[in-house]
Structure 1
Amino acid sequence: MSTDAAAPVRDPAWSLSRSAIGLWITEGVLGTLLYGALVAAFVLFVPVGGPVPVLRWVLPALVAVYAVVAIGIRPWFRHRVHRWEVTAEAVYTLTGWLTRTWTLVPVSRIQTVDVTRGVLQQLFGLATVAVLTASSQGTVRVWHLEADVAARVADDLARRAELVRDEAT
């Protein structure tokens, strides 16, 4: 049996931070406000006898459905299905709430590790770890970790990737 055997395909062990739920709810509220403003402008400024009068009630109904999904359903479901894990051999991620994407990045393939914090992530104390490789898939991201966890993960991965490179030379 080879010691280079591929890691088994399995769900990664860790969930994202629970603060990610608040971030996704905030994104849903902001999106709803944006779509609501666009629909309100349409309803207010398009004549009542306009070309498609049914849009005057269909568009607000669609914004309401969007709000229910984006604020009340999607954040909780995404938190249940998004997973990540870092082992001695690889970084695993499982993302997507409709289309599931399972990714494994061997530590030996890591070229760069970055930590980024968007404006909303900063408000919620979160950060994203980006693992860059030479593969055609490019960058793998572990979204919405607690900022201190993200910093520790990035530091650990960068050190281990450097050790693997040093051993290979």
Structure 2
Amino acid sequence: MSAPPPAPVREPAWSLSRSAIGLWVTQAVLGTVVYAVIVATAIVLVPTDAGWGVPLLRWGGPAFVVLYGIVTIGVRPRLRYRVHRWEVTAEAVYTLTGWLTRTWTLVPISRIQTVDVNRGVFQQLFGLATVAVLTASSQGTVRVPHLEVDVARRVADDLARRAELVRDEAT
């Protein structure tokens, strides 16, 4: 059995597709619209003489929606794009995710069991795909989201081929 690969000393080299920003903005716009509809419905349905909560609802509700929209539409997508990174080396798959809580994941090629390419509805609209790397570890599946479709397919094919070679060498 070979020694595990050394821990990375640098961030993974590659960013997600720039189209991920558009996907995240679209999801944020939809989420903001949902919150706006909920707040507007509450404002319409709550009687004006219902008590002290009415002014809070009438002013605080729309203010919340505006603040939520600014953060989720204007800030979060670009920040996520800057911090989400990935890389495939000869020894492992590295991912770095999270814009508030950072998660570093290293998957040795020898631990890979299966590799899938998934495309959600929004990903299809933006020409994106996710590479899902299933391992035998308790962490389960490691995902490299929002890659261009052709890049995702090449990465998945390469990882599956290399994992198979490692398994063949071990037997």
Q: Same fold (TM over 0.5)?
A: yes
Tell me, yes or no, if structure 1 residue 74 matches structure 2 residue 55.
Answer: no
Give the secondary-structure state (helix, strand or coil) at the position aligned to 1:155. helix
Secondary structure (helix, strand or coil) at the match of 1:153 reads helix
Q: Deviations over 1:32-90 (max 9, x none)?
A: 01111111100111111224111221111111001001110000110000000001110
Letter in 2 for 1:9: V
Query: What amino acid is aligned across from residue 36 of structure 1 in structure 2?
Result: A
Cα offset, 1:4, TM superposition: 4.9
Matched, 1:22 2:29: no
The amino acid across from 1:139 in the alignment is T
> 1:112 maps to which residue?
114
Quick one: distance in 1 between partners of 2:82 and 2:149? 20
CA offset at residue 6 of structure 1?
A: 1.7
Cα distance in 1, alignment partners of residues 117 and 61 from structure 2: 39
Relative to structure 2, which stretch is displaced further, 135-144 or 53-62? 53-62
Whole-Å Cα distance in 1 between the matches of residues 99 and 168 of structure 2?
39
Q: For residues 7 and 73 of structure 1, what CA distance do their matches in structure 2 show? A: 31
Stretches of 4+ moved more than 6 A in 1? none
Q: Deviations over 1:124-166 (max 9, x none)?
A: 0000000000101111000100010000000000000000001
Which residue of structure 2 aligns with residue 60 of structure 1? Answer: 62
Identity among equivalent pairs (%)? 74
TM-score by length of 1: 0.96
CA distance in 2: counterparts of 1:85 and 1:131, whole angstroms: 13
Could you say what the CA RMSD is over the residues aligned between the two structures, in angstroms?
1.3
Residue 106 of structure 1 deviates from its aligned partner by 0.2
Identify the match of residue 145 of structure 2 among 143, 146, 160: 143
Query: Deviation of residue 5 (structure 1)?
Result: 5.0
Aligned residues: 168
Q: 1:21-40 to 2 correspondence within 5 Å?
A: 21-40=21-40
Alignment-derived partner of residue 103 in structure 2: 101
Task: Identify the match of residue 87 of structure 1 among 89, 93, 109.
Answer: 89
User: Letter of the aligned partner of 2:88 in structure 1?
Assistant: V
Q: Which runs of 5+ in 2 are unaligned?
A: none
